Amino acid sequence: MERKSENLGSTENWDLIIKPSSRLLVFKLKDIWKYRDLLMMFVKRDIVTVYKQTILGPIWFVIQPILTTLIYVIVFGSIAKLSSDGLPKILFYLSGIIIWNYFADSLNSTSITFKENEALFGKVYFPRLISPLSKIISGLLKFLVQFVFMGVVMIYYKISGYPIPLHLTIFMLPLLVLIMAVLGLGAGIIFTSLTSKYRDLSFLLAFAVQLLMYATPVIYPMSSVPEKYKGIIEANPISAIVETFRSILLGSGHLNWCQLGYSSLFAIIVLFLGILIFNKTEKTFMDTV
């Protein structure tokens, strides 16, 4: 683009013009691909900065679900005596914890995108969606480490004589993870957009995530839910994903295609709504922080 300078009377050539997009529902996939190296740097930053000054480092990826599983086994399995649907309690709780943690971590980390990067956003241009996307990808690496650990535990139980079925439905696992990622990304960028103006919403998020976990069959199977409450639990789009995850890996739970379709549609709608709100907030973000 060329424009006439009022003071110098010369023509200036601009290589790049940055201006707000007139469209709200735009993914900017071309820009994200162009800045893919920056995306990978953000992913590396997200992983390294968390465990850089810790003694055990990335081993915490495994220690966290182990400790949580042991607590759940004692509190919910032994004291409260909640059903584990006939599964070994360690396998039951571990399977629920690692798939739930991926969603919860994705939501919590993306919900502070604007707040965490406000200084960076005010200095340099890059597609803002790269920041929440980096959280989703770094969370995926953590999930994969925990999933491998669960595979080791499953092999131990298999060798010990516990029947763990293997079905072709195991190839659905990437789909389940993708739905969780889309749902966490969509919900997270909605919260980060809203909290840029209404900061007190951030105080409610941790409480809301905790309540949502109890409305998800993480510490109990769907089969133990009383009939009068089953509709409420099934309305939670994450419930079908957790149940399907257990069904595929452990042969417990129920694979309901209608419920899984509902979860997928819900995730897509949340992502579209999140991008719309995110793009709208991005235009005036620096004026509200």
For the whole model, what pTM was predicted? 0.84
Domain holding 67, by residue range, is 2-288
Q: Say if CB 94 and CB 65 are below 8 A apart.
A: yes
C-alpha 225/C-alpha 129 separation (Å) is 38
- Beta strand pairing call for 11-13 and 2-4: antiparallel
- Interatomic CA distance for residues 99 and 180, integer angstroms: 8
C-alpha–C-alpha distance, residues 54 and 47, integer Å: 12
Phi and psi (nearest 5°) for 160? Answer: -75, -5
Q: Is the pLDDT of residue 185 over 70?
A: yes
Residue 2 has pLDDT above 60, yes or no: no
Tens digit of each residue's pLDDT (9 = 90 or more) over 35-81: 889 889 988 888 877 776 666 667 788 888 999 999 999 999 899 88
Q: Which residue type is seen at 13?
A: N
Q: Kindly list the distances between the CA atom of residue 78 and the CA atoms of 63, 73, 89, 160, 235, in Å, as whole numbers in the listed order.
A: 21, 6, 9, 22, 29
Name the domain count of the chain: 1
Q: Is the pLDDT of residue 198 over 80?
A: no
Band of the pLDDT at 10, cuts 50, 70, 90?
very low
| pLDDT bucket at 127, cuts 50 / 70 / 90 | confident
Ranked by mean pLDDT, the top range of 1-15, 211-225, 274-288 is: 211-225
